[in-house]
Amino acid sequence: MAEELSNELQCKTVFTIPIFGGIPVTESVVVTWIIMAVLVLLSIILVRNLKVENPGKKQLVLETIITTFNNLFKGVIGEAGMKYVPYLITVILYIGMANIMGVFGFKPPTKDLNVTASLAIMSIVLVQVAGIRGKGTKGWVKSFAEPVAIVAPLNVLELVIKPLSLCMRLFGNVLGAFVIMKLIEAVVPLIVPIPLSLYFDFFDGFLQAFVFTFLTTLYMQEAME
């Protein structure tokens, strides 16, 4: 059992690009390409034949989803942060799809610590960019000395702590759900794992996507204050 878990958790190299001494392409990268292709294809299909008047059911559902996301993020970061909503929606869709890829026989990219670390770093870089654009460079630098100058080292340390917490929270929850499911499948291999798989792969997967994105939005709101 332990050996099976160890093999499942290893991110194997699918193929190597024969340049610069060989660039290994891992499973998480390949599955990410698949997710990107699916999202692009769905985007093309869903935005075809949009109408201003008498929209169809497909368009109404799409508009409802986008409006819900817009209202959710607007309530946190305000009108000034709406320019960042497309990124936030993209991240929540990617993480949500990545977390359920195990259902389709693929290894979820979010089980790779490199993937969750990359997502966390991108989000925190965007948070700092939002802070600089919202406060100006001088205001952003001064914010590290708030409320008093003595806490500046701690505020600077947060630049590392925040992405680390985002990364480990997402990775730890996805990994924990995977380990629990494997243990359940080993003990009770029939029937019982099915409803639990729906919970861990779908509900918990999309919940973790929401938590990651919502925390990024909160950090962004703090940076722009």
Is residue 194 a part of any domain in this protein? yes
- Three-state secondary-structure class, residue 114: helix
90 lies in some domain: no
Distance, CA of 118 to CA of 214 (rounded, Å)? 17
Q: Which residues make Cβ contacts (< 8 Å) with residue 100, sequence separation at least 6?
A: 108, 201, 202, 205, 206
- From CA 111, how far away is CA 129, in angstroms rounded? 28
Residue 125 lies in a domain: yes
The encoded tokens of residue 68 equal: 């819900």
Q: Is residue 71 part of a domain?
A: no
Q: Specify the number of domains making up the chain.
A: 1
Task: Please name the amino acid found at residue 182.
Answer: K
Nearest to 26 by CA among 39, 16, 13, 38: 13
Decide if 150 is inside a domain: yes
pLDDT in tens, the chain (225 residues): 555 556 656 677 777 888 877 788 888 889 999 999 999 998 888 887 777 777 778 788 888 888 888 888 888 888 888 888 888 989 999 998 988 887 787 888 888 888 888 999 998 888 888 888 888 888 888 877 777 777 778 878 887 888 888 888 888 887 777 777 777 767 766 665 566 666 666 777 888 888 888 888 888 888 887
Tokens of 111: 């089980």
Residue 129 lies in a domain: yes
In a domain, 39, yes or no: no
Q: Is 94 inside a domain boundary?
A: no
Question: What pTM value is reported for the model?
Answer: 0.84
Residue 218 belongs to what domain range?
Answer: 108-224
Characterize 52-86 residue by residue with b for buried, 16 or more Cβ atoms within 10 angstroms of its Cβ, and e for exposed. Answer: eeeeeeebeebeeeeeebeebbeeebeeebeebbe
